[in-house]
Structure 1
């Protein structure tokens, strides 16, 4: 009996050795593991490190998980977009993830350039980040794509063709299943701007950047009302979507056409800025409009893919939440306000598991949209918690990816623009024909 047991153990060991020594077989097994596990396993031995860090393996891993629909969201990154707070925080959403990867690159780039750096969008594991520089003459925005899991970035070439063009935002789509894998879209206004005054056309232009190329390609022009926000686009149903108080714009990534539609009816009330949340989760596009800034009762709207009409999916009343956490109640000279910010609408696999992810003083909580129950997800440090009171919060869902964004910087020296230092009358310089990589290496 003992001899039989020994033979079985030897057979297992022999099988393990065969797999461990066969690169093709080992690669096929590793391709099916989560990115987070592979990052740890790359430290196992030189062979595993060689396989897992290879560009072709990383691309194949992204494609394999995408085709098998195995790209679950690990959590949400968030920070207060109305202050100069650069530190980005996070909330894990699965039991096997205790924390999301830190993003030290944001702090490093801000420290080296002296300019604010913000995350403006996320898509399948990649973050769209923007460096903003302001002078007495003009505002400049340069972008880079970041992979937090690997702390890698790919700087984008400058989209500025003329002096003082206004760039409103960058938007990213990342499809791991097929090349060119990701594209970046830049929205800018044609004409020139000098000391806050605009000259020339009021038309907007969409420019497209594909990794491995050296410049942006202009693809279409359009006009829309001034309330539309182009610095916080959402990728859904094959298009980038932007919204304003009165109009919505979507740009189809394949046809490269712009469609402008009216927003759903605005809730009654004197409060001007009705939009409290706009985002996508699990193939569903959601919108929250409110009557007042601190409304505790509102609807979660969902856009239908076929009819392109908004309808109320959930009716929310936060009375129970406020009763459970009375610290949300703030007495001000203007009356009672409720301190909370909406991070995300999260759709569960079952309808009963769908929640509204909120920040309240000192906590992140999940409010179940069906059962009307509340769960504390994590405690917030004082510094972060205090900045969330009454402010709009930017939040970005995240899933781990091994996609090699840095490799696209090395395939070509696309940053062929020469740095042109032009000096304003005040003596302060500003840069055109440059990229975020130039700024980072200053």
Structure 2
């Protein structure tokens, strides 16, 4: 009997591969030369990333890492198989996520004999590609003026608060690890220092903003929100005696302020920044509701619009919730909103603010949850065998 082999058109093969998980694509490279060439093409990697669905990433008390399928059927387990960080020494015992961008996770690990100069790590959980980011260098000694007025605090120079962020500079095809710090300039006045590690240059660089607001970073422990190629933090402005939104443009390397909605007091205990659909969004927590604001036109204060009021009455969560513990986590492609309650409880709401589903897992640690999108993208200067 004659057997005929049916050959699929190359365009159809490409469409199927674009919707395949990364774990399968890595294996598919061995099928034939065409598949290997196609999957290794940077343009294919970008298209694959754009079609992938973002998922929240969690750790539990045993330091296992999972992702969650927010659109999983009600009768299925939404958690993925355990993802292991297999390149760290066993002496590390706690992982803190500091950012996520284009399939890569920025995190730091605490050591049983910890020190402030611990390194950071970039990691692609799907391909296992990783890179160690060295600690940022000390920014020289304080100025003589500072030392003359505060000689006792000279040894405490490196103990000032800082916040991190991670993003992508599309103009240079470069990934940046960003560290925002406050440094002394002269008595009773500080200035902002932005240090960023360029993956392409493989080095840290410094930018001083001596005309920046006088900021207090002691309350902001959340990573910078990456939105529209810009990192955002909610910090306290000591000159204005209020919280403000500070942003750092990864392409222009500029630091600026985003105006909040009129007549809204931003408070770390009740406010969160996040991205809702294609808009910068702000959530304000009340006694039993969460108000959602979106900025319809970026940087335009008058474009802030309240879009949702979400109720969390009846949800099993602690009586006292901190800033890292309550707030919207993400919005799905269908417009649903997922709220993180940091007590092992996540709740999905539809566009009308109605509760659709409650996930509860008391073993999950859900603070500092990054949104992770699986990708086969590469890092500049880092091989796939890393």
TM range (shorter): 0.7 to 0.9
| TM-score (norm: length of structure 2) | 0.73
For the 8 Å contact 1:168–1:231, the answer to whether it is kept is no
Write the deviation string for residues 183-236 of structure 1: whole angstroms up to 9, x where unpaired: 2222234469xxxxx999832211233223231122342344204737511111
Provide the C-alpha distance between the structure 2 equivalents of 1:237 and 1:160, rounded to a whole number of angstroms.
Answer: 28
Matches within 5 A, 1:61-140: 61-65=44-48, 69-73=50-54, 75-79=55-59, 86-95=63-72, 99-100=79-80, 102-105=82-85, 109=88, 111-112=90-91, 114=92, 116-131=94-109, 139-140=116-117
- Where does residue 184 of structure 1 map in the other structure? 177
Match of 1:202 in 2: 190
Asked whether 1:219 is paired with 2:196, we answer: no
> What is the Cα deviation at residue 55 of structure 1?
11
Cα separation, partners in 2 of 1:60 and 1:311, compared to 1, 3 Å = same
- Kindly provide the CA deviation profile for residues 306-363 of structure 1, in whole angstroms up to 9, marking residues without a partner as x: 42443312122234xx1xx5x44x6xxxxx66898435141544xxx42233448665
Which of residues 366, 372, 382 is equivalent to 1:409? Answer: 382
In structure 2, the partner of 1:298 is: 290
Q: Distance in 2 between matches of 1:55 and 1:29?
A: 10
Change (3 A) 1:224 1:85: farther
Aligned pair in 2 of structure 1 residues 139, 369: CA closer, same or farther (>3 Å)? same
3-state SS, counterpart of residue 47 of structure 2: helix
- Cα offset, 1:272, TM superposition: 6.3
1:143 is aligned, of 100, 116, 120, to 120
> What's the counterpart of residue 339 of structure 2?
357
Q: How does 1:200-279 map to 2 (within 5 A)?
A: 202-221=190-209, 222-227=212-217, 229=220, 231-244=222-235, 246-264=243-261, 273-279=268-274
Over 3 Å counting, the alpha-carbon distance change for 1:204 and 1:179 in structure 2 is closer
1:283 Cα deviation (Å)? 1.8
What TM-score, normalized to structure 1?
0.65
In 1, the alpha carbon distance for the partners of 2:272 and 2:195 equals: 26
Unaligned runs of 5+ in 1: 20-24, 193-197, 331-335, 412-436, 438-442
Q: Which residue of 1 aligns with 2:30?
A: 46
Query: Helix, strand or coil for the counterpart of 2:247?
Result: strand
Offset from partner CA, 1:109-167 (integer Å, 9 cap, x none): 2624x46431111123211112456989x723532211111122112233213476357
Does the Cα contact within 8 Å between 1:286 and 1:301 map onto a contact in 2? yes
**Who is 1:283 aligned against?**
278
Structure 1 residues 342 and 301, CA, compared in 2 at 3 Å: closer, same or farther? same
Question: For the structure 1 residues 47 and 218, does the alpha-carbon distance in structure 2 shift closer, same or farther, using more than 3 Å as the test?
Answer: same
- The CA deviation at 1:257 is 1.2
Structure number with larger C-alpha Rg: 1
1:301-380 map, 5 Å: 301-306=293-298, 307-309=300-302, 310-319=304-313, 322=314, 327-328=316-317, 341-342=326-327, 344-349=329-334, 353-359=335-341, 363-370=345-352, 372-376=354-358, 378-380=359-361
Q: Provide the secondary structure at the position in 2 that maps to 1:43.
A: helix
Aligned-partner Cα distance in 1 for 2:321–2:249:
38
Q: Cα deviation per residue 1:11-59 (whole Å; 9 max; x = unaligned)? A: xx1635xx7xxxxx59x9447634753522543573459954x798153
